[in-house]
Amino acid sequence: MKLTPLQQEFVLHFGEMGSRWGINRTVGQIYALLFLSSEPLNADSITGALGVSRSNTSMGLKELQSWNLVRLKHFQGDRRDYFTTPEDLWEIVRILVAERKKREIDPTLTKLRELEMSGPAGDDYAEARIAELRELIEMMTGFYAEMEKLETERLVKLMTMGQRIAGLIDKAGGVLPALTKRK
Amino acid sequence: MKLTPLQQEFVLHFGEMGSRWGINRTVGQIYALLFLSSEPLNADSITGALGVSRSNTSMGLKELQSWNLVRLKHFQGDRRDYFTTPEDLWEIVRILVAERKKREIDPTLTKLRELEMSGPAGDDYAEARIAELRELIEMMTGFYAEMEKLETERLVKLMTMGQRIAGLIDKAGGVLPALTKRK
DNA sequence: TCTTCATTTCAGGAATTTCTGAAATCTCTG
DNA sequence: CAGAGATTTCAGAAATTCCTGAAATGAAGA
C-alpha cells in the first residue's frame, strides 16, 4: 500500500510527536494511518505502508488496543483482523482523556491518599502540601466526571460559549467552596 | 540534607511517574522535592537529598526552568541559586496546562494548517478528516483560552458546580455551532 | 587581574526503550 | 486432525535517553 503525500506527511508528523505524547513512533504512525483511512486496514497493509517489521506492527496494534483507540473489524471470507479508528472525533477525545487520566493521574491520587492515611509524619509543611494537592486533583477529577457525562452536543455548546461562560458562572447560585479561601 | 520518610516516598513516586509525564526520573524527583520544601533549596542540597550527580541536578533544574515550573531566589551574602515551586497550586496547574499545550498540541495544529494550505491532494477522505481534526483542536484551544482568562475563584466555582452545569448550558442562549451537526 | 566559588557543558558509559527476525502459538478449513 | 494462514512472543540488536565525572565557563570579591 502506497501512501499519498498528504498521508505520508501526516503519518510522519504523528510519528515524531509520539514521544511527546507518550507513545513510540510506530504507534503514532499506525494511529495516524488508520485515522486517515476510510477503509479498515489489516496488519500487513499497515506494515507495508509504514515500512516497519510485521512484529512491530503487531506490538503497536496491541498498544493501541490497550488504549482503546482502535476498533476491530472483520470481513466475510477473510480471516485477518482489520482496524479502524472511531469515526466520531469526540469519542476519540473522550477515550484519550479517560486513558491519560487513568495512567497519569489516578496512580498519583492513590499514592497521595496512601501517604495521608499513613498518619502524621511530623512534617507539617509536606503534609499540608500533599493534602492540598490531593484536594486539587479531586476537584479536577470531579469536574472531569461531570464533563464526561455531558452529551457531545452540550459539551460543544459549552466549549463555544466564549466569554459568556464567566457571566454564567457568576449568575449561578451556590457557595464558594473551601478551596478558594485566601491564604 | 536527609529526607523524611514522607518526603522520600513522595519523591520516589514522582520519579517513577516522570516517564509517563514526559520528564525523566531526576526531573520528577527534583520537582517533588521542591514542592514539599517550605524553604528554597540550592543545587547542592538537591544533589545530596536525591543522591544524583551535581551535573544531573543542573540539567534537571534547567529543564524545570524551561517548563517555567520553578522560581529562582537569592539570599543576602550567598551567591548560590535557590529554587522553589509556586506556592499557589492553581498557578502550577495553569503553567502545566500552558506548557503541555505548547509542546503537545500547538505543533500539530500548525502542521494540520500547513497540510490544508498545501492545497487539494486528491484524497477527499484524508482531507476531510484533517479539516475536522483541526476544527476540533481549534474549538478546544479556544475553550482553553477562555478558561485561562478566568480568575481562580470563578474557575473553582465552575469546577465545583456539579450537575448544575448541564442546566446552565441549556439555559444559556446561543446558536448550536456547526461542528455539532449530525452525520 | 587573579582567585575562588558556582554553574554549565559535554563526551562517553549506563540504562532503557524500540525494533527486528525467527520461532512459537493460535485458529480456521479441508 | 493435518496443514495453511494469521498473529504473537521473545531474545538480542539498534537506537535513544539518561546520567556521570571532568573540564570549561561565568561571576563575584580581593
Phi, psi (degrees; rounded to nearest 5) at B10: -65, -45
Tens digits of residue pLDDT in A43-85 = 999 999 999 999 999 999 999 999 999 999 999 999 999 999 9
Give me the sheet containing A78-84, strands edge to edge: A41-42, A78-84, A71-75
**Closest chain A residue to B14, measured at CA:** A108
Model confidence over B1-43: pLDDT tens digits? 889 999 999 999 999 999 999 999 999 999 999 999 999 999 9
Strand D proximal residues, B:6-45, Cβ < 7 Å:
19, 23-27
The list of chain B residues with pLDDT below 70 reads 173-183
Q: Specify the 3-state DSSP secondary structure of A70.
A: coil
Q: Which three cell numbers stand for residue A81?
A: 483482523
Q: For residue B42, list its beta bridge partners.
A: B82
Show which positions of strand C are touched by protein (CB under 7 A): 5-10, 16-23, 28-29
* pLDDT score for A112: 98
d(CA A151, CA A129): 36
Residues on chain A touching B91 (C-beta within 8 angstroms)? none
Q: Do A123 and B161 touch (CB under 8 A)?
A: no
Chain B nearest C-alpha distance from A42 (Å): 18
The C-alpha atoms of residue A130 and residue A112 are separated, in whole angstroms, by: 7
Q: What are the CA-CA distances from residue A112 to residues A70, A82, A119, B90, B172 (Å)? A: 33, 42, 12, 18, 38
Q: Please say if the pLDDT value at position A15 is more than 70.
A: yes
Residue of B nearest to A115 (CA): B6
Q: DSSP alpha helices (H): ranges in chain A? A: 5-21, 25-36, 43-50, 54-66, 89-100, 106-117, 124-149, 152-159, 164-171
Question: Closest Cα of chain B to A160: distance in Å?
Answer: 7
Residue in chain B lying closest to A6 (CA)? B121
Count Cβ–Cβ pairs < 8 Å, chain A vs chain B.
Answer: 185
State the pLDDT at residue B175: 55
Looking at residue A1, its pLDDT comes to 80
pLDDT tens-digit map of A79-123: 999 999 999 999 999 999 999 999 999 999 999 999 999 988 899
Closest of B40, B24, B154, B147 to residue B94, by C-alpha = B147
Nearest amino-acid residue to C18, taking CA and C1':
A24
- Cα(B133)–Cα(B140) distance, rounded to whole angstroms? 11
Please, which residues have CB within 8 angstroms of residue A51's CB and are 6 or more apart in sequence? none
**A128-132, A160-164, B91-95 — which is least confidently predicted?**
A160-164
